[in-house]
Amino acid sequence: MMRRSRVAAVRDLGLLALFALAACSIRPKASESRAAFLSIVQRGPNVKPELARGEALAPRVVALALGGLPPEALPRLREYLAEATDGALRRAAPEAFELDDVAPADSTLHNVLPNLPALTAAANMLGSPWEAPDISVKLGRACESAAARCVPLFPQLPAPPSASAESGDSLVRRGRALAWALDNAALLRVPASSRAAVLHALREAQSRPSGTLAMVFGAPRGKLDEAELDLLRGRARKSLADIASDSPRRPLLDALAATQADWELPVAIDGDELLVIPRLSAMARLRDFTSEVERAGAFDWVVRPTP
């Protein structure tokens, strides 16, 4: 009887070990679950890039842009739509997202609607595959078989020896430039004790008209305030009813009216991380971007953009 119980105990321990081993084998490692690569495919010189201007203001782009802004952006945007003139809204057409060249007379637009740089950045973040003459770049968790080059989206810190060779590769530089919003993003690991303060400081930096921050994310996915979003959609539909079918206001209003509450990043981030996306206008002054991020408080760099 004693021998039989010992055999059963050994068998049970063996089963537990097998289950534990199986659980370890199917649980993705952190580095694997967040793997992201840029596959750069070369094409013939006569291949023209596919134009997808409609995607620039797709509802999912608007949702991501709003998800990367402070919560008060939704009511402020609704108030703006209620008060904006046709001339001001024309500046929010797809071909003129950025507001850095807006005349002083329209400077209040920057304070009321800070999400135009965010729309530009969100459209680029969700733009894979990015197209240009003779080159196509795709974001994925693995390298494409047809890729002439395949590089990690986020370089390691400290930079490995291969990084210098990559930076000298013109094809890689061109591919990364197409994915500028993610390629120049800052990824921060923030202690729980300072997370609220760092996030608050980054949100404040977002609101500066001369700032370099477009969006800040503290999670890989999220949900906009349903009540505020419903009011915003209603305001957009009302504005649509009052404008001509060929009005330059229509693309933005159409997208706002169809925007859903859920948004999701095209890359994974961990629970103790913040992803900071630069404005397009910050590409020429990345040192200012990193300095502005550094002033937000205590954190560790996971990914630091290289000027």
For residue 273, is it within any domain? no
According to DSSP, the residues that pair with 83 across neighbouring strands are none
For residue 3, is it within any domain? no
Residue type, 276: V
Within a 10 A sphere around the Cβ of 241, how many other Cβ atoms?
7
Q: What is the DSSP string of 200-261?
A: HHHHHHHT-TT--EEEEESSSEEE--HHHHHHHHHHHHHHHHTS-TT-TTHHHHHHHHH--S
Give the tokens for residue 305: 């953009």
For residue 80, is it within any domain? yes
Sign of CA dihedral 14, 18, 23, 25: positive
Mean pLDDT of 48-74: 80
| CB of 298 closer than 8 Å to CB of 139 | no
Radius of gyration of the chain (CA): 23
Residue type, 56: A
Mean pLDDT of 223-235: 96
Residue type, 250: R
Sign of CA dihedral 80, 246, 118, 58: positive
- Give the range of the structural domain holding residue 243, as residue numbers without chain letter: 32-45+52-183+223-265
Pairing label, strands 130-132, 135-140: antiparallel
Sign of CA dihedral 280, 285, 289, 295: negative
For residue 2, is it within any domain? no
Q: What is the pLDDT of residue 228?
A: 96
- Contacts of 109 by beta carbon, 8 Å cutoff, 6+ apart: 80, 84, 88, 91, 99, 102
pLDDT digits (tens, 9 = 90+) for 89-130: 444 443 434 544 433 333 333 333 434 899 999 999 999 999
pLDDT tier for residue 27 given thresholds of 50, 70 and 90: very low
Pairing label, strands 186-189, 135-140: unpaired
Q: Is residue 24 scored above 90 in pLDDT? A: no
Mean pLDDT of 144-166: 77
pLDDT digits (tens, 9 = 90+) for 230-281: 999 999 999 888 888 888 888 888 999 999 999 999 999 999 999 999 999 9
Residue at token pair 């135009």: 116
What's the number of domains the chain is made of?
A: 1
pLDDT tier for residue 217 given thresholds of 50, 70 and 90: very high
C-alpha span between 269 and 182 (Å, rounded): 12
Peptide bond into 49 cis (omega under 30): no
Q: What is the pLDDT of residue 207?
A: 87
Q: What is the pLDDT of residue 48?
A: 59
| CB of 36 closer than 8 Å to CB of 267 | yes
In 3D space, the residue among 34, 41, 2 whose CA is nearest the CA of residue 182 turns out to be: 34
Most confident listed range (65-79, 147-161, 247-261, 281-295): 281-295
C-alpha span between 179 and 283 (Å, rounded): 12
For residue 294, is it within any domain? no
Q: What is the pLDDT of residue 55?
A: 62
Helical ranges in the chain per DSSP H: 2-26, 30-33, 53-56, 59-67, 73-83, 86-90, 108-112, 116-125, 162-167, 170-178, 180-183, 195-206, 226-241, 250-258, 286-294
For residue 149, is it within any domain? yes
pTM of the model: 0.77
| CB of 162 closer than 8 Å to CB of 278 | no
Candidate from 4-18, 94-108, 126-140, 206-220 with smallest mean pLDDT: 94-108
For residue 8, is it within any domain? no
For residue 210, is it within any domain? no
In 3D space, the residue among 304, 155, 131, 283 whose CA is nearest the CA of residue 214 turns out to be: 283
pLDDT over 90 percentage in the chain: 57
